[in-house]
Amino acid sequence: MSFELPTLPYDKTALEPHMSAETFDYHHGKHHNAYVTKLNALTEGSEWAGKSLDDIIASAEGGLFNQAAQHFNHSFFWKCMKPAGGGEPTGALADAIKRDFGGLDEFNAAFSAAAAGQFGSGWAWLVMRGGKLEIMTTGNADLPQKHGATPLLTLDVWEHAYYVDYRNARPKYIETFLSKLINWDFVAENLGNAG
pLDDT digits (tens, 9 = 90+) for 84-118: 999 999 999 999 999 999 999 999 999 999 999 99
76-89 pLDDT, tens digit per residue, is 999 999 999 999 99
On whether the CB atoms of residues 142 and 43 are closer than 8 A, the answer is no
CB 110 within 8 A of CB 137: no
Residue 84, number of CB atoms within 10 A of its CB: 10
**Angle value at C-alpha 71, between 109 and 113, nearest 5 degrees:** 10
In a domain, 15, yes or no: no
- Whether residue 152 lies inside any domain: the answer is yes
Residue 167 is assigned to a structural domain of this protein: yes
Q: What is the DSSP letter of 19?
A: S
Long-range Cβ contact pairs of 167-173 (< 8 A, separation 24 or more): 170/115, 170/116, 171/112, 171/116
- Phi, psi for residue 36 in degrees, rounded to 5: -65, -45
The range of the structural domain enclosing residue 56 comes to: 21-79
Q: Indicate if 117 and 28 belong to the same structural domain.
A: no
Residue 70 lies in a domain: yes
* Confidence class for position 195, pLDDT limits 50, 70, 90: low
Phi and psi at residue 122, to the nearest 5° = 165, -155
pTM as predicted: 0.98
> Of 11, 45, 79, which residue constitutes the final position of a domain?
79
Number of domains comprising the chain = 2
The tens digit of pLDDT for each residue in 46-58 reads 999 999 999 999 9
- Kindly report the CATH number assigned to the domain that includes residue 65: 1.10.287.990
By C-alpha distance, which of 189, 155, 160, 151 is closest to 175? 155
Q: pLDDT per residue over 5-54, tens digit each?
A: 999 999 999 999 999 999 999 999 999 999 999 999 999 999 999 999 99
Residues 172 and 99 in one domain: yes
